[in-house]
Structure 1
Amino acid sequence: MTGAAMPAEAPRVLAGHNRFSNQALTSLAKAACAEVLEVPAQEVRVEWRDDDGLLALSLVTPLGLPGLSEVVRDPEVLAAAGGSIWDRAVDAKADIRARVMQLSGSELSRVDIRISGVLQRTAARVR
């Protein structure tokens, strides 16, 4: 052999299909929402529906926010947390949609979020 590179073997494509169960997609959506909105996944409720052949995701979730005493001491804490409740919910839609589509390979037509409450994030206490 004269040092010539061997051609790379093309990946083999197998016939068939892959499907995610409703439970797997629901768990994925809960995890994505929990990460983006900083809440426990068990607090997130998920509903899927057909939207002209694509998946539409509806979420009911609390929103993690810094405590009011933190915001009063330093108003920039709210901006660092992502802004107002409205701003965070609007921004979260795109982030959650992108993450679910990336991980599942499914196409989502939309993500609807209903904020059910606020969970106060407590800063770590200094001892």
Structure 2
Amino acid sequence: MTTVTASPGAGNRTVAGPGLPAGRVHIADRVLQKTAERAAADVIGVDAKNVHVEIVSARDTAAVRVTSPFPVPRLDDTEAVRRATPVLEAARAAQSELRSRLTRLFGREISRVDLTISGASAPQRKRVL
């Protein structure tokens, strides 16, 4: 690997490798938590304000605990209920997608995603005036 030191007028910056700065990047836990909450809300299909995330970090990996309501069709819409994916199957798919997405976003391995379903979220009935 090649290490290049910037010229004196550019500050004391060392570049390691082809265009990569030496050192570490630290991202505050709160930023990771908010990012994970929004990603989980997007993957699950609920409002981010109803999603709670806890992140347990180690050096190169993290485990994520997500608590969220889960979207279900309105029970009076029999056709939507018939077409709906079973909750357990949908939750497993959401866990897998969230693990992949967070690994990509955080740039580190997500060792596990624990998903706790805290309730059901049915779509609001639209009123016609």
Which bin holds the TM-score, normalised by the shorter protein? Answer: 0.7 to 0.9
1:77 matched to 2:83: yes
Quick check: 52-61 or 83-92, which moved more?
52-61
- Identity across the alignment (%): 29
Give unmatched runs, 5+ long, in structure 2: 1-16
User: What TM-score does the superposition give when structure 1 sets the normalisation length?
Assistant: 0.77
Q: In the aligned structure 1, how far is the partner of 2:23 from the partner of 2:60? A: 20
Kindly provide the amino acid, as one letter, of the partner of residue 124 in structure 2. Answer: T
Runs of 4+ that moved beyond 6 A: none
Give unmatched runs, 5+ long, in structure 1: 1-9
Kindly provide the amino acid, as one letter, of the partner of residue 110 in structure 2. Answer: L
Q: In the aligned structure 1, how far is the partner of 2:76 from the partner of 2:18? A: 57
Q: In the aligned structure 1, how far is the partner of 2:124 from the partner of 2:109? A: 36
Aligned to 1:32: 39
Greater RCO structure (CA 8 Å; 6+ sep): 1
What SS is found at the alignment partner of 1:20?
Answer: coil
CA contact (8 A) 1:66 1:77 kept: no
CA contact (8 A) 2:73 2:80 kept: no
Q: In the aligned structure 1, how far is the partner of 2:99 from the partner of 2:128? A: 37
What is the Cα deviation at residue 73 of structure 1? 3.5
Kindly provide the amino acid, as one letter, of the partner of residue 64 in structure 2. Answer: L
What is the Cα deviation at residue 47 of structure 1? 1.1
What is the Cα deviation at residue 51 of structure 1? 6.3
User: Aligned-residue CA RMSD in angstroms?
Assistant: 2.3
Q: Aligned ranges for residues 44-123 of structure 1 at < 5 Å?
A: 44-50=51-57, 54-70=61-77, 72-78=78-84, 83-122=85-124
Question: How many residue pairs were aligned?
Answer: 113
